[in-house]
Structure 1
Amino acid sequence: MTPYSYPRSPPVHRSPTAEAEVADELAVVRPGLVPRYEAELPGARAAVLSRLWRGLAHDPLPWVVRGERSGDGLTLRLSDGRRLHGPRPDPYATGAYVCVVRLDEAEYDDPARLVTDLAVPHSASFAAELGHSVASLALSRAAQEGRGPDAWPESDWAWEQRIVDGHPFHPTCRSRPGFSVAEQLAYGPEHRPVVELGLVPVRAEECLVTGVWPRELRDGERVVLPVHPWQAAHVLKRGCEEWRAAHPLMSLRTLALPGGPHVKTSLSARLTSSVRDISLPSVAASAMLSGFAETPAARTDGLLHITRTLGAAAAGSPDFAAVLRESPQTYATGGERVLPVAALATTGLPRSPGWLARFARLALGVGLRLLELGVALEAHGQNLLVILSPAGDPLRLVYRDLADIRVSPARLARHGITVPDLPARMVTDDERALRRKLFGSLVAGALAGTAGSGAALAEALETALRDLPDTPDLAALRADPLPTKALTLMRLSPRTAGDQWAELPNPLV
């Protein structure tokens, strides 16, 4: 028996599925939504199965021996002799384009059951996440019934709440373990709730504070931290004084205060790949990092704004911290709109090849310029925002959340920029690591998700790259396989720390 060969006897009993559990809870808290939820389940399964098939086909999974293409299909040979067969995947396609995958002679339209029956290491926990992803996605879609396409929103949170399906390529795009149905409806941005943030006071000597912590959040000798109500109930396990009503953004744990800043809270639940706490080193470095980022941004001829971190505080734990950040709306004037790149698909604009090429040129021009200077942005569809003119033309970019950028001291030194004392994980001169960070997030992530297919992405890139300065980074983007996070491999490797990577066929080759 090979290291990845496992007994394949059929399971005698299956526990209730996440789909059934959500239906049962929904029948109690929102019974009128049950028929719509059940109608959305087939489409949600196909959407998650499409994301999973992309990962199975392209991630370097140790139990996949090789892939064999024939016609419009792809067969994956597994190390134990089994075969997985499905359509030839377009790694840059979004939506639900895979309805069935075959494992030997058995057909699967349910991604959770497919992974369960694959029976590879850690497949049981991953299958549970996939089941939650399907059920939560169906719930998210069901709640949109009767909501026609809104006019372009005026508020920043309304743009973010239009994003219903979550991450366009992650198979656990809507997995929210630890959230009941009532809590998803109460806190999920796609359900458009208003969330009452709480306040918890902490003695100042027990609290790390950087930047300017507002007077409103101080009480004599105590620092007062905003807390998400889910975190207060499930992690801190304490009541808290209600503070202000806020609107959840697409990250769920970051909320917009009307007329005020965005509040990033700790949320110790696994959403897609990560538990969303706030590390103490990131709190300590937040003010310094925010000030540092203004220098390279100033060298983009006004095409990039970085949202400033106003203040950050942590009460001795990543589970109890908060960051106050400037709203991207700060940088819009005269009828301009600011929206996360992930929301572009809701505008209809990307359907124009000319528009997509102009946007790609703006994003790549800025991203490659910062990379040349020595800063690799994690410019995925959540962190990267675009400022549109009243007519919908892409004008400038806004970047938020600097916690996962990478900084090259050698490159910065060549341009006369001093590196501050940043957390060690942010600092590297490894060109491969720097390019992975930018290309994986911007090209394989934000631009691919906006384009919606490999053909549309290739056309936009061909036009966008023609007039950009010729640099080694641009040459690598043109010729090398395109890096992307191996999202399926990462969920099947829970004991491996950090990002793992896959290589996608370069759409320009």
Structure 2
Amino acid sequence: MHRPSTPEAEAALADELGVVRPGLSAPYAQALPGARAAVLTRLWRALAHEPLPWIARREPGRDGLTLRLTDGRRLHGPHADPYATTAYVTEVRLDDRPYDHPARLVDALAVPHGPAFAAELDHSVASLALSRAGQPAIDNEPVTSREWEQRVVDGHPYHPNCRSRPGFSVAEQLAYAPEHRPLVELGLVAADDCLVTGEWPKWLRDGERVLVPVHPWQAAHVLRLSPQEGIPAHPLLSLRTLALPDGPHVKTALSTRLTSSVRDISVYSVQTAETVSAFMETVTDRLDLPLHITRTLGAVTADSPDLAAVVRESPDVYAGPGEQIVPVAALPLTALPEHPALLAEFARLVLTVGLRLLDLGVALEAHGQNLLVVLDPAGAPVRLVYRDLADIRISPARLARHGIPAPALTGRIVTDDETTLRRKLFGSLVGGTLGATAGSTVALREALDTVVRDLPRTPDLAALRDAPLPAKALTLMRLSPETPGDIWTELPNPLDGSGSPNRSS
């Protein structure tokens, strides 16, 4: 096979690594082929299942899948399982030329906005190789939810930009990324005339002035502040949220693009934080569900998404004796996916909770970061913990049907649109949480078949059972910078096999 020269980000990271951490240079080089395959697998899933306008048709065959491009070219690769999480794509062929690197493939496709996306893929491969190379040898089992989520090395299970961290140097990735297990020093910026909701902790005040925790990357690159002493914290899956030792979690503003979105904290999120948290406490208490909501203790903004923070409970406060709380993204690292009965019980638990709340009028964004599961001492799932309420959706009409007053909220969090509500839950919970935990269409179908027949018959369950499964078109979104918000596609339903892989609305 023809091997082109090393892509730019890979070479640049290697050069910097040789200065910053030379001991990782050899492991990094050894990790690159696997990282390329991991990102290429995610990209091939997108090419096979997203409504990309320059793909004319898809032709499954005995030897794989062929994509016919609108310009007449032919792209061929293996059959694409929309729920697979293993790196099974090591090469695809554009006409007769093989490509083993996702960035070079996108460059060769020459599609609109492709160069910027190719650069992100290049960075994703390099950062993923760095993440894998930097893993220490650990013999002990994780104890806290923080320790579990720091074991998640590969990032988003389906996004080609699973480890893209533009703007982060090698030194900054090693210093701030959770999979490298650093201790991060959060700066404290005193701010006047802040909007504060909830009870802002006394230890984050200087007299009457509010102290806003600031991520050191944000302080250096966005706020242009000098390094300062602050509070030590452990970075979590989202990188911008950190766990204080033996204390709450702090969500900081981090104005850089990670996977799809620029990470900051909107003024709207701070304005609504206390109301949404109190409302969800009321709802979960009323339903008596096996679900805990981590309370938002306080939120603050200095009238800017670049200088804001949220303090909330640690999920670990909901662990009983002998229990472990594991972020769903880390479940593939446990024994649960290897046992069909446990996987089915997990599916039953999350679908029961998610569909009951949806019927009531609350759609959770229950992906691998926001949703955690409580495992009993035998490793069985018994309860759920949900954190970060900023992107849930609330339906006043559905709440009214159940005699529940809607919270005093306006804006994007409020909607009665059934498509929006179902996309929010199904796209995150089934296509994300359950799909990634199962790891394949076959395993996901078996888990769902076991439990769906026993769930209460509601219109939402019928939509989940009979319609194609909604999923965010993550690659199309990165190739459509002129289109704000989410773009959706439909994946084949693992329960009935229906659904076109290239529809959207």
TM-score per shorter chain, which class? over 0.9
1:228/1:106 CA distance change after superposition, 3 Å: same
Q: Indicate if the aligned counterparts of 1:380 and 1:441 stay in contact, CA closer than 8 A.
A: yes
Shift of residue 131, structure 1, vs aligned partner: 0.3
Shift of residue 433, structure 1, vs aligned partner: 1.0
Secondary structure in 1 matching 2:246? coil
* 2:206 is equivalent to residue 219 of structure 1: yes
Shift of residue 504, structure 1, vs aligned partner: 0.4
Shift of residue 468, structure 1, vs aligned partner: 0.9
Selected match of 1:296 from 274, 277, 283: 283
* 2:49 is equivalent to residue 53 of structure 1: no
Shift of residue 15, structure 1, vs aligned partner: 9.7
Selected match of 2:106 from 103, 115, 122: 115
User: 2:84 matched to which residue of 1?
Assistant: 93
Selected match of 2:137 from 144, 147, 159: 147
One-letter amino acid of the counterpart of residue 28, structure 2: Y
- State the aligned residue count: 493
Q: Indicate if the aligned counterparts of 2:335 and 2:379 stay in contact, CA closer than 8 A.
A: no
Provide the rounded CA distance (Å) in 2 between the counterparts of 1:202 and 1:235. 16
Provide the rounded CA distance (Å) in 2 between the counterparts of 1:343 and 1:467. 27
User: 1:182 matched to which residue of 2?
Assistant: 171
One-letter amino acid of the counterpart of residue 66, structure 2: T
Shift of residue 391, structure 1, vs aligned partner: 1.1
Shift of residue 72, structure 1, vs aligned partner: 3.7
Secondary structure in 2 matching 1:424? coil
User: 2:32 matched to which residue of 1?
Assistant: 41
Shift of residue 342, structure 1, vs aligned partner: 0.6
Provide the rounded CA distance (Å) in 1 between the counterparts of 2:211 and 2:11. 41
One-letter amino acid of the counterpart of residue 163, structure 1: V
Alignment of 1:15-414 (within 5 A): 17-144=8-135, 146-148=136-138, 150-203=139-192, 205=193, 207-239=194-226, 241-414=228-401
Provide the rounded CA distance (Å) in 1 between the counterparts of 2:376 and 2:335. 15
Secondary structure in 1 matching 2:230? strand
Q: Indicate if the aligned counterparts of 1:68 and 1:76 stay in contact, CA closer than 8 A.
A: yes
TM-score, normalisation: structure 2: 0.96
User: 1:5 matched to which residue of 2?
Assistant: none
Secondary structure in 2 matching 1:426? coil
Selected match of 2:433 from 442, 446, 455: 446
Q: Indicate if the aligned counterparts of 2:362 and 2:392 stay in contact, CA closer than 8 A.
A: yes
Shift of residue 152, structure 1, vs aligned partner: 2.9
Query: Unpaired runs of 5+ in structure 1?
Result: 1-12
Shift of residue 422, structure 1, vs aligned partner: 2.2
One-letter amino acid of the counterpart of residue 34, structure 1: S
CA RMSD of aligned residues (A): 1.3
1:48-75 CA-partner distances (Å, limit 9, x unpaired): 0000000011111111111011114111
Q: Indicate if the aligned counterparts of 1:200 and 1:240 stay in contact, CA closer than 8 A.
A: no
Secondary structure in 1 matching 2:93? strand
Shift of residue 201, structure 1, vs aligned partner: 0.4
Shift of residue 81, structure 1, vs aligned partner: 0.9
User: 1:419 matched to which residue of 2?
Assistant: 406
Runs of 4+ aligned structure 1 residues displaced above 4 Å come to 13-16
Q: Indicate if the aligned counterparts of 2:49 and 2:490 stay in contact, CA closer than 8 A.
A: yes
Q: Indicate if the aligned counterparts of 2:343 and 2:438 stay in contact, CA closer than 8 A.
A: yes
Percent identity for Structure 1 against Structure 2? 70
TM-score, normalisation: structure 1: 0.95
Q: Indicate if the aligned counterparts of 2:220 and 2:227 stay in contact, CA closer than 8 A.
A: no
1:251-306 CA-partner distances (Å, limit 9, x unpaired): 10000001111000000010000011000000010001100111222244340111
Q: Indicate if the aligned counterparts of 2:289 and 2:353 stay in contact, CA closer than 8 A.
A: no
Provide the rounded CA distance (Å) in 2 between the counterparts of 1:394 and 1:62. 42
User: 1:10 matched to which residue of 2?
Assistant: none
Identify the range of structure 1 (397-406 vs 239-248) with the bigger mean alpha-carbon deviation: 239-248
One-letter amino acid of the counterpart of residue 155, structure 1: T
Secondary structure in 2 matching 1:224? strand
Q: Indicate if the aligned counterparts of 2:198 and 2:298 stay in contact, CA closer than 8 A.
A: yes
